[in-house]
Structure 1
Amino acid sequence: MFARFKDVALLLGRIGVGVVFLAHGLQKWENGIDGTAKFFEQTGIPLPTLAAIFAIAVEIVGAILFIVGFLTPLVGLGFVVVSVGALLSVHLDNGLTGQGGYELVLVLAVAGLALGFNPGKLSLDHALFGRKREAKQLQDA
């Protein structure tokens, strides 16, 4: 019974983290690649157009993949890259807490990483890859 609760909790965590990244990605999409790149350039991010495309893709496509639980380790790493970029370029000077602080960025990065490498059984990753792995482990035991 505990395992079911664990898998539901992991699903809810993926949905929560995914929705936040999706919202930020949609904001960047609304600003457009050029607008996002201009902001990135002002904050000192190198290759701002490429970084804007990467951030928008990770935050929109990655968030959708994360919510359904597909390729979660890859998406989790993408979340970390985007979050570290935001932390270093925008939030670091504001400190951990307070207006513009990096506490949310930090939590999103580590939650994305943790959930990315443990998406639970209620994920496409488990349905497509995990069952085969479990069967092989039982066979080898």
Structure 2
Amino acid sequence: MYSRIQDVAALVGRIGIAVVFFAHGLEKWNSGIDATADMLGGVGIPLPTLAAIFLIAVEVVGPILFVVGLVTPLVGIGFAISGLGAVFSVHLEAGLTGEGGYELVLVLALAGLALGFNSGRLALDHVLFGRRKKAEEPVS
């Protein structure tokens, strides 16, 4: 029974993280690649157009994949790159807490990474890959 609770908790966590990243991704999507690239270039991100395309993909497509539980380790790494990039390029000077602080961005990035590698059994990754791997393990 405890493992079922863990699986539901992982699903709820994936949904929560996905909602926040999706909201930020839609802002970037609605602004467009050029405006997002200008913003990224303004804070010193190298190759801002490429970074804008990456961020929009990670923050719009990634949450959909995260909710259904498909390629969650890859999405989790994308969330970590996105969030840690925001910490170091935008929020670091404001400190951990307070106006513009990086505490929420850091938690979202690292929670996305952790859930990406621990997505639970209520994920397509488990259905498509986890069961096969378990069946191949030798019984001792």
Q: TM-score, normalised by structure 2?
A: 0.97
Aligned residue for 1:97, secondary structure, equals: coil
Find the counterpart in structure 1 of residue 89 from structure 2: 89
Aligned-partner residue type, residue 50 of structure 1: L
Deviations 1:18-77 (A, max 9, x none): 111001000101111011001101111111110000000000111110111000001101
Q: TM-score, normalised by structure 1?
A: 0.97
Find the counterpart in structure 1 of residue 123 from structure 2: 123
CA RMSD of aligned residues (A): 0.8
Aligned-partner residue type, residue 80 of structure 1: A
The whole-number CA distance in structure 2 between the counterparts of 1:31 and 1:70 is: 27
The whole-number CA distance in structure 1 between the counterparts of 2:130 and 2:4 is: 16
Q: What displacement does 1:140 show? A: 4.2
The whole-number CA distance in structure 2 between the counterparts of 1:67 and 1:24 is: 16
Find the counterpart in structure 1 of residue 50 from structure 2: 50
How many positions carry a matched residue from both structures?
Answer: 140
Aligned residue for 2:36, secondary structure, equals: helix
Residues 1-141 of structure 1 mapped to structure 2, 5 A cutoff = 1-137=1-137, 139-141=138-140
Identity, in percent, stands at: 65
The whole-number CA distance in structure 2 between the counterparts of 1:77 and 1:131 is: 23
Aligned residue for 2:32, secondary structure, equals: helix
